[in-house]
């Protein structure tokens, strides 16, 4: 669904795209869409919880003697693997987010939560 949504957002714009269109492009029903996502913006943030969990766990598992910057480096190494095969998707996703204030606000909220979780771990 995320791929279908991103394609439509890139082609038509975020605001002009409906959940029905995303579901249709993905070969699913709207009902199925809403089982996975609260709304059409959340489809772009799928996996952010898993990313946060992996990042925080890796930082927490860094040696206690590691400086905070080194512990963060361990975390970055861990999450970088998630993006190896998704570079083009990530670029397109960021372009869509940057072009829309609502999505940009959502991304900043997610990043603030990640920052708080990391700060609590350090």
Please indicate, yes or no, whether residues 59 and 79 belong to a single structural domain of this protein.
yes
Task: Tell me: do 35 and 65 sit in the same domain.
Answer: no
Co-location of 72 and 115 in the same domain = yes
Q: Are residues 62 and 31 in the same domain?
A: no
Q: What percent of the chain has pLDDT over 90?
A: 91
In the chain, the number of structural domains is: 2
Range of the structural domain that residue 105 is part of: 47-121
SS3 letters across the chain:
CHHHHHHHHHHHCCCCCCHHHHHHHHCCCHHHHHHHCCCCCHHHHCCHHHHHHHHHHHHHHCCCCCCHHHHHHHHHHHHHHHHCCCHHHHHHHHHHHHCCHHHHHHHHHHHHHHHHHHHHHC
Per-residue pLDDT at 81 exceeds 90: no
Q: Which pTM value belongs to this model?
A: 0.83
pLDDT tens digits along 10-52? 999 999 999 999 999 999 999 999 999 999 999 999 889 999 9
């Amino acid at each position: 669904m995320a791929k279908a949504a991103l394609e439509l957002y890139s082609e038509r714009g975020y605001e002009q795209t409906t959940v029905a269109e995303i579901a249709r492009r993905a070969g699913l029903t709207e009902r199925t869409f809403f089982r996975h996502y609260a709304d059409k913006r959340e489809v772009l943030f799928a996996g952010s919880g898993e990313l946060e969990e992996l990042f925080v766990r890796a930082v927490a598992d860094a040696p206690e003697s590691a400086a905070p910057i080194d512990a963060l480096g361990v975390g970055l190494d861990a999450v970088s693997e998630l993006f190896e095969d998704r570079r083009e998707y990530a670029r397109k996703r960021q372009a869509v987010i940057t072009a829309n204030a609502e999505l940009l606000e959502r991304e900043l909220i997610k990043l603030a939560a990640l920052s708080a979780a990391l700060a609590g771990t350090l």
